[in-house]
Structure 1
Amino acid sequence: MVALEIVGWIGSILIVLSLTQARVWRFRWMNLIGSVIATGYNTLIGAWPFVFMNAAIVVINIYWLVRLTRERHDSAVYRVLAVDADNAFLRHLLAVHATDIATHAPTFDVDADAGTAAGGTRHTFLVVRGDEAVGVVAVTDEGDGLGRVDLDWVKERFRDFTPGEFVYRESGALADAGFSALEVVPREGEDEGYLRRVGFTMAADRWVRPVNA
């Protein structure tokens, strides 16, 4: 009986902890596992109203996990919008999330001179899901079609879905801006797995990838 109660507590704790998660994917998986355990526990003790409630939560979580899996690489769900660096909404987004952005790109400053021989023209792109902006990619023109990625940031709750990939793979926004290749100068704590997933490979001292036409 004690072992059964421990199992029940584990399910309850997982459900509570899931509600503290900012990332949608992590929330859904933790909530699913907790509700499956809670369904089994309440079945064994005969608490049928709670069996129904937790079983319904299981079905809801499975529905959303399937939907999120289908949408995570769907170019019809995520769009890329090229915007000027002085765009009011872009600046508002960068200001609101400045602390989080600084942890990923501590040297990025949208107002700073990009500092390249080509004049340092910076192109900024908003990644949107419906009417919500979920990320920002900023690329500096280094000349001869080469772009340096200065910022690739996504809101925490969308980070498991890597929506930045749509800037690189699907949208054509980079090609429209005149880029034929990209590079990323490695920084401490760089997510190398993410860079590989979106098509970058290491060459010499930096990450590079061609731009899809």
Structure 2
Amino acid sequence: MNNTFIEAIGYLGSTLVLVSFLMASVAKLRIVNSIGSAIFTLYAFIIHSYPTAIMNICLVLINIYYLVKLSNTSVEYTCIKISKDDSVIKHFLDHYKSDISKCFPGINTDFDSADVGYAVLHEGTPAGVFLGKRQADDNVDILLDYSIPQFRDFSIGKFLYSKLPDDGIKTLTYSGPDRNHMKYLAKLGFEKNESCYKKRF
């Protein structure tokens, strides 16, 4: 086998392992780390470095164990109504302002028109914030639907949206920046029309 190709396999595996440690999501970290370790295992076998291969096999098995454990662990959330003027929410939005702008490029972070608000808490700490403006016919136009990096697995959105019909909300619309948000909207059941995304309960 070509030496350059063999080295490329090794570099690819090493790079994926290193990149995995930059990920905020524990699940994504372990998935990418497993892929990198598996590739590096192949490289180790090719160059006959069996101790390195065994170590990486162990890393893959450890990652699989914890991924299974994560999938069987349900995260408990609490949903509370909030006002955009709550000091804790103002601090939360200010603290995550740069990340919010990164997730929603071009978003207007002035939410003065918001008259509907929810915070999703995990162990008493805000993990996500929803701000919207109520329209006619029990519709809420979403101004912000944000989760902190550690909880971007759609679970917060699914939990929150399951509670909204209890407050008489029948339709959600979203017309904000969608470049980094389309996957989330599709996963949560929004349909795109000419002017916005819409979800009916």
Give TM-score scaled by structure 1 length: 0.75
3-state SS of the aligned residue for 2:94? helix
Query: Residue 83 in 1 paired to residue 81 in 2?
Result: yes
Query: Residue 13 in 1 paired to residue 15 in 2?
Result: yes
| Ranges in structure 2 where 5+ consecutive residues have no aligned partner | none
Q: Conserved in 2, the CA contact under 8 Å of 1:182 and 1:210?
A: yes
Give the Å deviation of 1:164. 1.5
The whole-number CA distance in structure 2 between the counterparts of 1:22 and 1:151 is 21
Query: Residue 28 in 1 paired to residue 30 in 2?
Result: yes
Number of equivalences: 195
Residue 153 of structure 1 aligns with which residue? Answer: 146
Residue 57 of structure 1 aligns with which residue? Answer: 59
For 1:158-197, what aligned pairs fall within 5 Å after superposition?
Answer: 158-161=151-154, 163-168=156-161, 170=162, 172=163, 174-187=164-177, 189=179, 191-197=181-187
Q: 1:4 to 1:125 in 2, by over 3 A?
A: same
Q: After superposing the two structures, state which structure 1 stretch, 38-47 or 177-186, moved more.
A: 38-47
For 2:24, the aligned partner's letter is A
| Ranges in structure 1 where 5+ consecutive residues have no aligned partner | 115-121
Q: Percent identity?
A: 29
Q: Conserved in 2, the CA contact under 8 Å of 1:7 and 1:37?
A: yes
3-state SS of the aligned residue for 1:163? helix
Give TM-score scaled by structure 2 length: 0.78
Tell me the alpha carbon deviations over residues 2-30 of structure 1, each in whole angstroms, 9 at most, x when there is no partner: 24444223222221122223344432222
Query: Residue 124 in 1 paired to residue 117 in 2?
Result: yes
Q: 1:57 to 1:197 in 2, by over 3 A?
A: same
